Structure 1
Amino acid sequence: MKKNKLRLRDWLLSIALGLAIAGVAGFFYVKHYQSEQAIAVNQSTRQRIQKDSKAKVKKEKVLNQYRLYGLTDSEINAAKTLPVSAIGDSIMLGSSAYLKVLFPEMSIDAEVGRQVQAAPAIISQLKSSGKLANTVVISLGTNGPMTEADINGILDQLGTERQVFWVTAYAPGKAWIDPVNKLIHAAAKTHANLHVVDWYYLAGGNDDWFADDGVHPNDAGRPHYYTLIAKDVMQTLKK
Structure 2
Amino acid sequence: MKKKNNRFMNSLKSLGSALLVIAILIASYGIYHAPTSDASQLEAELEKNEQELAREEATPAGFPSKTPAGTTATQTAAATGTPDISQSSLSVIGDSVFLGAAPAFKKLYKNAVIDAKVSRQVVQALDIAKNLDKKGKLGDTVIIALGTNGNFNSATGQKLIDYLGPDRTIYWIDAYGRDLPSAKDVNNTIRRVAEANNNVHVIAWSKEGPKHPDWFYQDGIHLNITGQKKFAKFVRKNMITE
Please tell me the TM-score bracket, short chain as reference.
0.5 to 0.7
Q: TM-score, normalised by structure 2?
A: 0.66
Q: 1:154 aligns with which of 160, 170, 173?
A: 160
SS in 2 for 1:131: coil
C-alpha distance in 2, partners of 1:198/1:79?
19
C-alpha distance in 1, partners of 2:241/2:113?
20
1:212 counterpart residue number = 218
Asked if 1:46 corresponds to 2:52, the answer is no
1:62 counterpart residue number = none
SS in 2 for 1:204: helix
Matched ranges for 1:82-161 at <5 A:
82-161=88-167
**1:209 positional shift:** 1.4
Q: Is the 8 A contact 1:80 1:105 kept in 2?
A: no
Give 1:45's aligned amino acid.
L
Q: 2:209 aligns with which of 199, 203, 206?
A: 203
Give 2:47's aligned amino acid.
Q
SS in 1 for 2:91: strand
Q: Is the 8 A contact 2:88 2:139 kept in 1?
A: no
**1:80 positional shift:** 4.8
C-alpha distance in 2, partners of 1:145/1:172?
16
Q: Is the 8 A contact 1:88 1:109 kept in 2?
A: yes
Asked if 1:183 corresponds to 2:189, the answer is yes
Q: Is the 8 A contact 2:172 2:201 kept in 1?
A: yes
The structure with the largest alpha-carbon Rg is: 2
**1:52 positional shift:** 5.7
Give 2:170's aligned amino acid.
V
Q: Which blocks of at least 5 consecutive residues in structure 1 are unaligned?
A: 1-40, 55-77
Give 1:185's aligned amino acid.
R
C-alpha distance in 1, partners of 2:164/2:129?
8
Give 1:49's aligned amino acid.
L
**1:186 positional shift:** 1.8
Q: Is the 8 A contact 1:50 1:94 kept in 2?
A: no
Q: Which blocks of at least 5 consecutive residues in structure 2 are unaligned?
A: 1-37, 53-83
**1:176 positional shift:** 1.4
| 1:55-110 deviation line (CA, Å, top 9, x unaligned) | xxxxxxxxxxxxxxxxxxxxxxx655431010101111111112112212210000
C-alpha distance in 1, partners of 2:108/2:42?
25
Give the paired residue count: 174
Query: Cα RMSD (Å) of the superposition?
Result: 2.2
Give 2:223's aligned amino acid.
P
**1:46 positional shift:** 1.8
SS in 2 for 1:95: helix
Q: TM-score, normalised by structure 1?
A: 0.67
**1:206 positional shift:** 2.4
Q: 1:172 aligns with which of 168, 178, 185?
A: 178
**1:189 positional shift:** 1.5
Q: Identity of aligned pairs, percent?
A: 32
